[in-house]
Amino acid sequence: MIDKLRSMAVFARVAEAGSFRRAAERLGLSASVVSHHITHLENQLGAQLLYRSTRHVSLTDQGECFYQSCRTMLAAAETALDSLQHGQQNMVGKLWVLAPAPFSSGPFIADVAEFCERHPGVTLRLDFDDGPHNLVQEGIDVAIRFGAQENSTLVTRTLFELRPQLYAAPSYLEKFGRIEDLEALQSAQWICQDATLDIVLTGPDGVEVRLEPQARITVNNAVAQHELALAGIGVAQLPSIMVDPDVQAGRLVELVPDWQFAKLSCCAIYPTRAAPQALSRCFVDFIYEKMQAVTTQQKTSK
């Protein structure tokens, strides 16, 4: 029975990683040992669980059903282990965190430093990247992301909400003219994270207007947008928490303030079987408390 349970755990890792090699790396085993576990399990069950190719594996219909059962079993076991580890408050292990590029400076860095001080047994990898990632296949433990997250295999916790706005530098407005209405906004030069931008703004009377401006420059993160906006290249959609100091100092100007975007959620997400799950939860709980404190302070000061 113990051998079969071990093989079921290995199978679940292979199903999540999508390859024997990636699963082997996360389990600390050789690819041949992982393959042996899967073959042995299939022989015992008399069923093919995986379709195999040279670089990738995928679940058969029977494998999909069996994976859900394995996942439930492992989740129950990890919950028991996590509760014990949580109670000891002695966090040890490796944690890979992915965060948006704007978080690479400011309060978030101080929060991470404090987390490391509190948990000296944790080894942290921190990447700042706004691009899409598959947390399960890549082995990322926690990701902080803006916008709705629709993935049933991930745990999602909303950290805070913000309302992005449009900004441009005084030098851009002096060169190309002031932007006081949506017509001028539509024809402006834009700094975007997509080649085309489809935005919806709500006016003071509740009317929604859709704009489809074309990008003058396309970048892959908000930090670059911010720097290019400061350089007077064009209009950028940015979170207020990122640019408030620039607005107060006169380096950026908020455009058409009567027109607003919908609120945008900032969420922490991690796989249901993040390893170790307790460490992921501990980090998310810590960051949540820190961000809630900042959000409350900002509301009070306004």
Q: Is 260 a domain residue?
A: no
Task: Please tell me the pTM assigned to this model.
Answer: 0.63
**67/201 same-domain check:** no
**236/201 same-domain check:** yes
Span 137-147, average pLDDT: 87
Final residue belonging to a domain, choices 86, 102, 133: 86
**78/210 same-domain check:** no
pLDDT at 50 over 80: yes
Span 21-34, average pLDDT: 87
**230/277 same-domain check:** no
- Give the domain CATH number at 203: 3.40.190.10
Domain around 36: 2-86
pLDDT band of 169, cuts 50, 70, 90: very high
Lowest mean pLDDT: which of 149-163, 174-188, 204-218?
149-163
In this prediction, residue 23 carries a pLDDT of 86
The dihedral sign for the CA sequence 253, 230, 188, 103: negative
pLDDT at 72 over 60: yes
Please tell me the total count of domains within the chain. 3
Final residue belonging to a domain, choices 66, 86, 106: 86
Final residue belonging to a domain, choices 31, 55, 86: 86
Scanning the structure block, which residue is given the tokens 């059962």? 69
pLDDT at 295 over 70: no
pLDDT at 82 over 90: no
How far is 123 from 92, CA to CA, in rounded Å? Answer: 8
pLDDT at 138 over 70: yes
**47/64 same-domain check:** yes
pLDDT at 275 over 50: no
